Structure 1
Amino acid sequence: MDGTQGPSLCFPNLNSSCRRLLRPRSETALLYTLLAFISLLTVTLNLLVIISISHFRQLHTPTNSLLLSLAVSDLVVGLLVMPIEGLRYMETCWLLGRLMCALTPYVSYCLLSASLGNMVLISVDRYVAICDPLLYSFKVTLNRVKIVICLCWTCSLLYNGCILMGHLRNPGRFSSCHGECVVVISHVSGTLDLVFSFVGPCAVMVVLYMRVLFVALSQVRLLQSQTAVSIVIAAPAAKKSERKAARTLGIVIAVFLMCFCPYYYPALAGEDTSTSSSYYAVLSWIMLTNSCMNPLIYALFYPWFRKAIKFILTLRILQPNSRDLKIL
């Protein structure tokens, strides 16, 4: 029999317990399978990025250090945040206690902010590499990138600590019954978060990628205008370069907007952001899927990553001196 049962209590022994919404078994099994698949895929993709960059010495570059930091934040999102948010959504009850209610939103927001910060740093790195290639190796060193990554994570911890200070002090202040974990961000804080976590980073990435596209096209036109021979040779390359630059720009900005824009709907609509809202679960999961898309955007487009995957899956990385294999 596959009927929907009536609501029951999250904690039957407590009179103040919240009510749990029970779903049909077939629907529950399907949703659990889907959530587990998304979480596993996120962990697997980001773990492949981490192993590739960490293992092969040739990949120890400033740019790949940024990719590694991005993959670490996205890996933890898939490993911790997605399962916990999935459990909250499926059970319609908070079963992990007061301490986890305080820490889980903070950890989740920190990881997503760090992931977003790493995306911005990657766009800055690409901007310097394209627009100032002669001085790139002097301006962007491995040690400097490591320092910037540490600053990115530190700022994420401090920033989200300020945003969620009230919740960290009293995680149950907005809960109406036992079995809820409600996070409410006021309209003022939500508006500030909208500017610093969405509008600002988005504007930076758009401006930098547009600048990169402009410089790349200018360089191609310069080559085309030199000699008749160079025109014949560069024309196909110009079209290919334009398509590649436009595709990268479109993918980065489109995925970022699709994943993050819905989450900031309450702030845009002038409302408080609350985890008890009926649509919060959908908005939250749309944003979380960005952690699954990031390795596809920033890694799977690189030939070295596809080559590294072959070495990993065939266990060739276990061979002696595999760290020194030629990947690039």
Structure 2
Amino acid sequence: FPKPLQTFAAVVAILIMITGLAGNLLTIIALCKYPKVRNVAAAFIISLCVADFVFCLLVLPFDSIRFIDASWANVRFLCILVPFLRYGNVGVSLLSVAAITINRYIMIAHHGLYSKVYKKYWIAFMILFCWLFSYGMQVPTLLGVWGKIDYDPNLETCSIVKDSRGHTSKTFLFVVAFVIPCLIIIGCYTKIFWVVHRSETRMRKHTTPTIKSPHTPGRDTREIKQRRSEWRITKMVLAIFLSFVACYLPITIVKVADVEVRYPAFHVLGYLLLYFASCVNPIIYVIMNKQYRQAYAGVIGCSRIRASLSPYGSSAPGHQQQDYGQ
């Protein structure tokens, strides 16, 4: 890699690491500390943040240093551990995103099934599946059956490379890791928006006065609120989908189209976007919710905002928890 490109990548990776560590840790503490924001979706968000925090803590230090000095790759244990954690935690993050999407889909489109599907043991099973599946997919590579984890001179770091038979699982893992969550996100949020739009349309029909009057301020107010509600959901959908595509599509395309690393700059850009996903998730999935912002303020010690968060919040008797994204 060109020296200026290496320096730039190292600086950006370090900044992402610091931001990711702070943001994900803050999110985990906020979700655990305040019952008002602790609900079913929060369990998956915590899993997502834990995966991203581990990624920033154990992977990014080595991945940032390797742009300047990759001597750590000479240590066999680290050369296997770092890529294993890198791909494993990326997989957990992607599956957690998909799990959050499915959670919201069932909550809106199949509300009657929600309490049956999201019992404590099923939630634990879903989270455990995200972790076991993500790391389990790497076992054949770890054992050298399908590719192997070793130093890649083209990337100047340890990664998944071809085995003695010329086979590698890297392309397959990247394609599957992107395509499956992408299809889930597109399908679920398309259905969500359709259900919400149909519900709002039906509500407008029911609230239409039988005798038209030039003065219907109540109706106008309702329509404005309905449009705002649809727009909030639209923005959430766009934010989730665009961040997902922006962070994971480039590296997927690069890994498929440039296996021999003929264009190193594109690989570096793809990796930086992949790293950025570890710190952007708290912004997309947490900060867009007002109650989470209040919980953040409570964690960092803003007493005025913290006062609005009762230690029991909406978990207190007679209150119902508001779900993620509402």
TM range (shorter): 0.7 to 0.9
**Match for residue 111 of structure 2?**
133
Q: What SS class does the counterpart of residue 88 from structure 2 fall into?
A: helix
Q: Number of residue pairs matched?
A: 299
Q: What SS class does the counterpart of residue 181 from structure 1 fall into?
A: strand
**Match for residue 240 of structure 2?**
252
Moved more, 44-53 or 134-143: 134-143
| Superposed structure 1 runs of 4+ greater than 6 Å apart | 20-24, 167-170, 273-276
Q: Confirm or deny that 1:235 pairs with 2:212.
A: no
Q: 1:312 to 1:275 in 2, by over 3 A?
A: farther
Q: How does 1:70-149 map to 2 (within 5 A)?
A: 70-95=48-73, 97-149=75-127
Q: Confirm or deny that 1:205 pairs with 2:185.
A: yes
Q: Confirm or deny that 1:181 pairs with 2:158.
A: yes
Q: 1:225 aligns with which of 192, 196, 205?
A: 205
Q: What SS class does the counterpart of residue 115 from structure 1 fall into?
A: helix
Q: Confirm or deny that 1:193 pairs with 2:173.
A: yes
Identity %: 22
2-structure distance, mates of 1:172, 1:31: 22
Contact 1:42 1:292 in 2 (8 A): yes
Displacement of 1:190: 4.0
Displacement of 1:209: 0.3
Q: Which residue type is aligned with residue 235 of structure 2? A: R
Displacement of 1:169: 9.1
Q: 1:21 to 1:131 in 2, by over 3 A?
A: closer
Contact 2:84 2:138 in 1 (8 A): yes
Q: What SS class does the counterpart of residue 158 from structure 2 fall into?
A: coil
2-structure distance, mates of 1:92, 1:173: 10
Q: 1:184 to 1:167 in 2, by over 3 A?
A: farther
Q: CA RMSD in A?
A: 3.3
Displacement of 1:239: 1.1
Q: What SS class does the counterpart of residue 166 from structure 1 fall into?
A: coil
Per-residue deviation, residues 10-67 of structure 1 (Å, max 9, x unmatched): xxxxxxxxxx98679xx95x76554332211111111111001111233332111011
2-structure distance, mates of 1:129, 1:181: 42
Q: Confirm or deny that 1:311 pairs with 2:298.
A: yes
Q: What SS class does the counterpart of residue 134 from structure 2 fall into?
A: helix
Q: Which residue type is aligned with residue 254 of structure 1? A: L
1-structure distance, mates of 2:267, 2:77: 22
Q: What SS class does the counterpart of residue 324 from structure 1 fall into?
A: coil
2-structure distance, mates of 1:266, 1:79: 25
Contact 1:171 1:181 in 2 (8 A): yes
Q: 1:32 to 1:169 in 2, by over 3 A?
A: closer
2-structure distance, mates of 1:299, 1:310: 13
**Match for residue 69 of structure 1?**
47
Contact 1:206 1:253 in 2 (8 A): yes
Displacement of 1:188: 6.6
Q: 1:267 to 1:92 in 2, by over 3 A?
A: closer
1-structure distance, mates of 2:133, 2:157: 29
Q: 1:263 to 1:287 in 2, by over 3 A?
A: same
Q: 1:23 to 1:253 in 2, by over 3 A?
A: closer
Gaps of 5+ in 2: 210-217, 315-321
Q: Which residue type is aligned with residue 41 of structure 2? A: T
Contact 2:48 2:93 in 1 (8 A): yes
Q: Which residue type is aligned with residue 295 of structure 1? A: P
1-structure distance, mates of 2:76, 2:284: 37
- Please report the TM-score for the alignment, with normalisation by the length of structure 1: 0.80
Higher RCO, Cα 8 Å, sep 6+: 2
Contact 2:247 2:276 in 1 (8 A): yes
Q: How does 1:162-173 map to 2 (within 5 A)?
A: 162-166=140-144, 171-172=149-150
**Match for residue 160 of structure 1?**
138
1-structure distance, mates of 2:120, 2:104: 15
**Match for residue 37 of structure 2?**
59
Gaps of 5+ in 1: 1-19
Contact 1:262 1:283 in 2 (8 A): yes
Contact 1:101 1:171 in 2 (8 A): yes
1-structure distance, mates of 2:109, 2:185: 15
- Please report the TM-score for the alignment, with normalisation by the length of structure 2: 0.80
